[in-house]
């Protein structure tokens, strides 16, 4: 270690130093916000326009899938909330469901974040929360053909026969649009079993990690819109003109992205200069 | 049209498998990751440390794109287990998938039996860690405590890939990765010494056994790839000329 | 049941289900009762496997505690937590049909389990950071080009990129929508073909491992 020059040291900074620097970098913007404007990209705009205006009629049924858990709230929840608000304001009826154990917590958060919109809606008529499902892709495929066999009752154990909205929802033919927000693959289940098989309109509100996988499907038209990570959530908040959690988080995202680029540049400067020296 | 292409794919693979059985020799390029498995086991034997195998939490057998990855990972587990038993190395299989657990047990037991050491099989070498967070942190804990000399991370992964792989890097383990999940490939490529990308994961079984049937199916797969390339090129040219019949046909 | 018969039974069931699902996917746009029943059974079998996993966990940790293996205290803690969550969840479920209606279950779920999960997810960022710092070196021209592209994509994902230089978002978008998409599509196509080939070999019993139907050397 002692005979390491500055270039070697640049390449071998202890990772704990970086963890602390990253932690501080992420925290500071919450205390001293910067507030840079967020530009809306086309895929997010297509998502928003696909669930508003002429693309949704009052009474249309939309499925919104909580494919994310509490751990991914920061990435998925803001965009999901905006989409729920937008659909409610168009008069759509929403079927909420989820593939994560903590879907009830995510639903509670949504109802809290969009409380003004939920206040005007009647449970069982304008929206229903079906809750957690298991069975993976088989369950999603079965949902398309016979939804009542996958969910014989809602999350609160009310039989489907007693829920007015469920009288109109039996399968893919009753659904106008599906919005899936995923940290995993549930969106791709809907892609294969709903969009691919039956042509149901589908959009994804995904985490940033899945963005590169989702782009080809968006460009091919399988997804009519795509929101990626916290940035996508912030863009949706811009479109609906209601800044929220994602907009707040953008400052931290700015700082962390800049930091990672600087760290990579630093390491490479050290690497290239030490190679030249050698 | 999709059905026709699928039947064509099956026909091509079956045809080349038939040719393989008739004695035609097919060669596939070497997969460095598969060749590195004996090296990884040997490293563990020298260091007196175990080998760790884990298939990732994404690969539920109920999923049409993730399940096959887990099955391919279990094929690789059989090979790793056989090599480990031969070398007298302990192997830890950390499986987060309840539906794959019986397959993992059966595969490990069979590997020990095939090497003539059924009494050495210990069911405790298979750990079930349910839930993504528990699996991730439990595997990290195992890495820190037991410090395996080699880790084999093959299968369907979600974000735990980068954490487990980086944890393996921290302890200086030799790492062999493999996944068909595009969103995790960059992380595994950055953190693993050897990598099986996309279809290499599925071809691993063929690379290991060099069975003519299996190699024939890969040859058939390659023929279909050529067909797809031709279709893409023709479609591109037709699309440039604004003739869409091929695109419309393939959409059926 | 002999091993051979076990394998033949597996292949018979797998083959039959495969054919039926193919037929349903390609020839039955509407619901087909046979395929629908099979899918329902797939869901049931998956849920049974969850129970199997739970039983396996209990076995593992009960043995660990009884034999006082290394870190047996954690096994004991696990068993306590398992029993508490199981009983409180069941109490809630049997009472109202919703597990989280039980106060203790809900409190443990909201205040213990979910923060732990969130923390585990948050660790990802730190590990990606250290992996990027350690691994992203311009060792050759290809790596250097990839690094430059990566920097543009990272900066274009954050509004700060546009502040640094107005061209960054456009270049980053080009990389995202034009540069990397062909590669992603190629991966998807070859991955899918590999899967089809694997499935085909498995159905014919030509694959290694569990599906080895006499193809083993």
* Chain C contact for B224 (CB, 8 A cutoff): yes
* Chain C contact for B93 (CB, 8 A cutoff): no
ipTM exceeds 0.90, yes or no? no
- Selected for mutation to probe chain B from A184, A195, A197, A263 (highest B CB count within 10 Å) is A184
Q: Looking at chain B from residue 161 to 220, which residues have their Cβ under 8 Å from any Cβ of chain C? A: 162-163, 165-167, 169, 180, 182, 185, 187, 190-191, 197-203, 205-206, 208-209, 211, 213-214, 217-218, 220
Q: With beta carbons less than 8 A apart as the criterion, state whether B126 and B104 touch.
A: yes
What average pLDDT score do residues B67-77 get? 92
Show Cβ contacts of residue C32 under 8 Å, excluding neighbours closer than 6 positions.
Answer: C23, C24
Distance from CA of A194 to the nearest CA of B (A): 14
How high is the pLDDT of residue C29?
Answer: 61
Q: Do B9 and C193 lie within an 8 Å CB cutoff?
A: yes
Q: Do B63 and A137 lie within an 8 Å CB cutoff?
A: yes
Q: Which residues of B touch C43 (CB under 8 A)?
A: 62
**b/e B22-49 (16+ beta carbons within 10 angstroms → b):** eeeebeeeebebbebbebbbbbbbebeb
Percent pLDDT > 90 in chain B is 63
How high is the pLDDT of residue C217?
Answer: 41
Chain C CA closest to residue A268: C137
Q: pLDDT digit string (tens) for B225-249?
A: 999 999 989 988 998 999 888 888 8
Looking at domain A42-243, its CATH architecture is 3-Layer(aba) Sandwich (3.40)
Q: With beta carbons less than 8 A apart as the criterion, state whether B70 and B102 touch.
A: no
CA distance C78 to C58: 9
Q: Which residues pair with B54 in a beta bridge?
A: B153
Q: Is the pLDDT of residue B252 over 60?
A: no
CA distance B153 to B179: 8
Distance from CA of C135 to the nearest CA of B (A): 6
Chains A & B: contacts with CB separation below 8 Å? 29
Report the residue from B79, B191, B200 with minimal CB separation from C135.
B191
Domain coordinates of chain A in residue numbers? 6-32+253-277, 42-243
- Please give the average pLDDT of every successive group of 10 residues along chain A, which has 278 residues: 65 81 88 86 96 95 94 92 97 96 92 95 97 89 92 94 96 96 90 92 93 90 94 96 92 90 87 79
Residue with tokens 């999923």: B63
What average pLDDT score do residues B28-43 get? 93
Q: Which of B62, A41, B240 is nearest to C39 (CA)?
A: B62
Report the residue from B58, B62, B131 with minimal CB separation from A184.
B58
Q: Which chains does chain A touch, 3 or more C-beta pairs < 8 A?
A: B, C
Report the residue from B62, B65, B131 with minimal CB separation from A188.
B65
How high is the pLDDT of residue C210?
Answer: 63
How high is the pLDDT of residue B237?
Answer: 92
The total domain count for chain B is 2
Chain C CA closest to residue A43: C177
Distance from CA of A20 to the nearest CA of C (A): 10
Chains B & C: contacts with CB separation below 8 Å? 166
Q: Which chains does chain B touch, 3 or more C-beta pairs < 8 A?
A: A, C
CA distance C177 to C156: 12
pLDDT in tens, chain C (217 residues): 566 667 778 888 888 888 888 888 888 766 788 888 888 888 888 888 888 888 988 988 999 899 998 889 999 999 999 999 999 988 988 888 777 778 888 899 889 988 888 888 888 888 888 888 888 888 888 888 888 998 999 998 888 888 899 899 899 989 988 888 888 889 989 999 999 998 888 888 877 766 554 444 4
Residue with tokens 């066999």: A149
> DSSP letters along C140-209, please?
SHHHHHHHHHHHHHHHHTSTHHHHH-TTHHHHHHHIIIIISHHHHHHHHHHHHHHHHHHHHHHHTT-SSG
Answer yes or no: do B168 and B53 share one domain: yes
Answer yes or no: do B61 and B155 share one domain: yes
Residue with tokens 């990802």: C124
Q: Which of A105, A44, A92 is nearest to A233 (CA)?
A: A44
Residue with tokens 């009753």: A174
Q: Which of A170, A197, A202, A199 is nearest to A67 (CA)?
A: A202
Q: Which of A193, A192, A201, A194 is nearest to A221 (CA)?
A: A201
Chains A & C: contacts with CB separation below 8 Å? 156
Report the residue from B63, B158, B183 with minimal CB separation from A136.
B63
Q: Which chains does chain C touch, 3 or more C-beta pairs < 8 A?
A: A, B
- The torsion defined by the Cα of C117, C121, C127 and C131, in degrees rounded to 10, comes to 140
* Chain C contact for B70 (CB, 8 A cutoff): no
* Chain B contact for A137 (CB, 8 A cutoff): yes
How high is the pLDDT of residue C216?
Answer: 44
Residue with tokens 């967070």: B133
How high is the pLDDT of residue C128?
Answer: 86
Expressed as residue numbers, the domain containing B167 is 32-204
CA distance A145 to A193: 10
Q: Which residues of B touch C26 (CB under 8 A)?
A: 2-3
Q: Do B220 and C54 lie within an 8 Å CB cutoff?
A: no
Q: Do A149 and C147 lie within an 8 Å CB cutoff?
A: no
């Amino acid at each position: 270690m002692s005979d390491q020059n500055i270039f070697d040291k640049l390449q071998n900074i202890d990772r704990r130093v970086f963890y602390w620097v990253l932690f501080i970098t992420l925290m500071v913007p919450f205390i001293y916000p910067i507030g840079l404007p967020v530009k809306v990209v086309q895929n997010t705009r297509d998502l928003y326009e696909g669930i508003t205006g002429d693309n949704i009629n009052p009474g249309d049924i939309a499925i919104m899938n909580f494919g994310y858990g509490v751990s991914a709230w920061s990435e998925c929840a803001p965009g999901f909330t905006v989409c729920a608000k937008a659909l409610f304001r168009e008069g759509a009826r929403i079927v909420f469901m989820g593939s994560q154990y903590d879907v009830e917590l995510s639903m509670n958060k949504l109802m809290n974040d969009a409380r003004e919109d939920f206040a005007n809606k009647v449970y069982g008529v304008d929206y229903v929360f079906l809750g957690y499902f298991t069975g993976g892709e088989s369950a999603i495929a079965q949902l398309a053909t016979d939804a009542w066999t996958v969910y014989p009752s809602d999350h609160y154990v009310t039989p489907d026969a007693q829920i007015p909205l469920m009288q109109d929802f039996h399968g893919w033919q009753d659904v106008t649009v599906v919005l899936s927000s995923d940290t995993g693959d549930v969106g791709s289940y809907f892609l294969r079993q709903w969009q691919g098989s039956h042509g149901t309109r589908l959009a994804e509100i995904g985490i940033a990690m899945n963005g590169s996988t989702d782009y080809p499907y968006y460009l091919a038209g399988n997804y009519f819109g795509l929101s990626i990570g916290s940035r996508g959530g912030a863009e949706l908040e811009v479109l609906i003109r209601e800044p929220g959690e994602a907009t707040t988080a953008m400052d931290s995202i700015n700082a962390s992205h800049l930091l990672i680029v600087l760290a990579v540049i630093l390491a490479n400067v050290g690497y290239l200069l030490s190679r030249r020296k050698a | 049209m999709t059905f026709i292409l699928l039947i064509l794919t099956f026909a091509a693979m079956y045809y080349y498998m038939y040719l393989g059985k008739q004695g035609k020799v097919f060669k596939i390029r070497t997969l460095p990751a598969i060749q590195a498995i004996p090296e990884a086991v040997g490293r563990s034997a020298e260091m007196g440390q175990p080998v760790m195998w884990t298939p990732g939490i994404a690969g539920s057998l109920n999923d049409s794109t993730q399940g096959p990855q887990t099955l391919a990972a279990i094929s690789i587990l059989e090979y790793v287990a056989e090599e480990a038993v031969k070398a007298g190395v302990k192997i830890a299989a950390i499986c987060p998938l309840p539906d794959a657990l019986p397959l993992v047990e059966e595969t490990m037991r069979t590997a020990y039996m095939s090497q003539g050491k059924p009494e050495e099989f210990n069911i405790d070498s298979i750990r079930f860690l349910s839930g993504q967070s528990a699996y991730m942190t439990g595997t990290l804990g195992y890495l820190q405590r037991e410090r395996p000399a080699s880790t084999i991370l093959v299968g369907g992964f979600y974000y735990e890939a980068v954490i487990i792989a980086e944890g393996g890097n921290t302890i200086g383990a030799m790492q062999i990765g493999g996944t068909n999940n595009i969103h995790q490939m960059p992380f595994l490529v950055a953190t693993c010494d050897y990598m099986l990308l996309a279809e290499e994961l599925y071809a691993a079984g063929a690379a290991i056994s060099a069975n003519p049937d299996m190699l024939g199916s890969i040859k058939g797969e390659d023929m279909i790839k050529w067909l797809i390339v031709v279709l893409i090129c023709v479609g591109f040219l037709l699309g440039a000329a604004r003739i869409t019949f091929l695109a419309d046909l393939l959409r059926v | 049941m002999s091993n051979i018969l076990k394998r033949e039974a597996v292949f018979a069931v797998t083959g039959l289900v495969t054919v039926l699902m193919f037929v349903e996917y390609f020839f039955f746009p509407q619901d087909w009762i046979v395929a629908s029943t099979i899918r329902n059974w797939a869901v049931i079998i998956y849920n049974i496997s969850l129970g199997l996993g739970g039983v396996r966990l209990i076995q593992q940790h009960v043995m660990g505690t009884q034999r006082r293996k290394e870190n047996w205290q954690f096994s004991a803690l696990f068993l306590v937590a398992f029993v508490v969550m199981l009983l409180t969840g069941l109490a809630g479920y049997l009472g109202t049909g919703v597990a989280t209606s039980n106060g203790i279950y809900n409190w443990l779920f909201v205040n213990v389990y979910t923060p732990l999960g969130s923390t585990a997810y948050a660790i990802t960022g730190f590990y990606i950071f250290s992996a990027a710092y350690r691994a992203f070196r311009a060792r050759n021209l290809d790596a250097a080009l990839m690094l430059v592209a990566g920097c543009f994509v990272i900066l274009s994902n954050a509004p700060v990129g546009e502040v640094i230089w107005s061209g960054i978002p456009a270049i980053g978008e080009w990389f995202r929508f034009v540069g990397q998409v062909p590669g992603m599509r190629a991966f998807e196509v070859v991955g899918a073909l590999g899967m089809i080939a694997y499935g085909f070999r498995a159905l014919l019993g030509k694959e290694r491992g569990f599906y080895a139907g006499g193809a083993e050397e």
